[in-house]
Structure 1
């Protein structure tokens, strides 16, 4: 009863919007209702340990309790439950445990995000060296593990991921064949192969994932593009060659705030004098913050979604020009929603590859990630960078023209 009596006033203050029915481990049922209308969900604490964890460090313990069966949605889906919790977490709730945990993370965030080369490789391996069969279950045909681009909102996942690549290519101003391109954090090679096949670029993709490296090289050989695309296991800090263009999609989130200056200084140093770079990253619409501790432990160790203020401060010191900035607000929410649906449809296959606890971890990750874009201010940004003030035209009309022309070329039979 002690935990219940402690949690009751906390939950009463916590729920400001919508409502939450809570069944405690001792069987007591209480409804917590906010002053604003909103979504409704039900939560059941299966164990007293889960209740204690929710009191002491909910940001970490709640996800762990779900993985271990200590908490469960009741009369609703996991997504519904997280929707209520994450929506209300945006208010000042007076939760002592979470406030102390957040303050500690803020003080320690430079250490938590300290990503020298050896640590960066371990962090990347933790998530990206998972069995490739897992990613085949929910990603698109090109294995794009980053925000898609929905030009109308009605595209399929394949269409939206193709559109994302051509949207980025237009910003790279690939106005002649043979341009050299560096792809930092190349994933399974889809962007690099697209730039070589559809734009005549000569691409070098670098990654710290051995699994992705093998897959990317195999895909280049299968597509007959090995003479135009090569992939290397290399940290961005070790790049020495200069390139006409640089692209980086979904990698900046893994750099770490203490390394932003190093990252943008490296982009400046290896970009040609008249070159163009495009950085695509998850970001946050408020000020500097920290990474959720459950995400940091189980999904992306060393990862962080930066604010624009932190990012621009580092760019300013590098001497690079920000020649274009675009914020994509709900595109990633839509992308992850499709991933979540596809993962759920193939959940039994995922359990055969790993186990039930892994599946619970992954569905918790996907639901929470989607909601971070819907209710917690996360977004994506694309920054176009140059060394020279006149490396790109006066206006951004050329981007729109090139994107439409590229899509028209590809659509022809």
Structure 2
């Protein structure tokens, strides 16, 4: 148990301890912090009085981004997590540590890491089947390669933004019902409910990373909203897939949950048929039992389960490096839309409204098929923790701003 008030029953209790980058009005310099209940432990202040302030770990914790710390690897991650846990549970240290805690209400959150490359996958069988039925109604919903490899594409790392950043409605080429090509703002503006994974330890160009090395390279998890312009996507996606329909913005949560905090959330991953190739085989095949929630202007419209994903994050990591592509600290990859078999488990509004045929009625009486200017979307998630506890991943939220003229 932690001596911090409110930590015992908090989704940000001692069993969680996510990392973020924050600043305050009286100290606007961004710095690393760890969340405990409704407080942020200022790691720069923690290490400022250390006798080893020049050692790699202390220097990394004094940074304004997680990248230097993530690059140190699993041994350092575990040691620091253990030290922070000790400091927040030893009541004899309360007098020393308490002044280093900032109320979360006073913290301004920033992008927690500096992104390297960004890969977005397409790993939910339910989502892929739904979109295939809509986009290719006269063809098989799943393309022949889908169950043989984790389909993915390169995104734009420069447009990854922290939760709370306004999202400007994108503009692009659109195809009209009468077959004309026009330019204008997207009218079928959508979300994609995803889970993202942040790489800490890099790999060398020309080498591969096995699925079983997942926990040695990946530092932690964030929630993701990969905003999508479906009308732009429909016109541009053949033959090479999405481009401008997704590259304008991807929102991520500002708290990175370490993989160690999700140890109790491991569950068996879905069986795969046909058998995958050897490089995608996992000696311990597991998923994470994350219960996601999607709210549209304050009303919950979906509850997808991440455990239903056909391809695991370990397989995604193995696939994105099997050709010898290197990993860099800060590389980021997302799961693709998380959708389940039920109507209440669909992770995009394209699916929730079935391409606009089944509008959603909001609490104010208005209806929606896709996002309108001023709409706000929040994605949150919970996961089981040790000894019957529950942790909550840092939510990701965004509000739609009008298209630029």
TM over 0.5: no
Q: Which structure: greater strand fraction?
A: 2
TM-score, scaled relative to structure 2: 0.28
Q: Which has the higher contact order (CA 8 A, sep 6+)?
A: 2
Q: TM-score, normalised by structure 1?
A: 0.28
From the two aligned structures, give the one with the greater helix fraction. Answer: 1
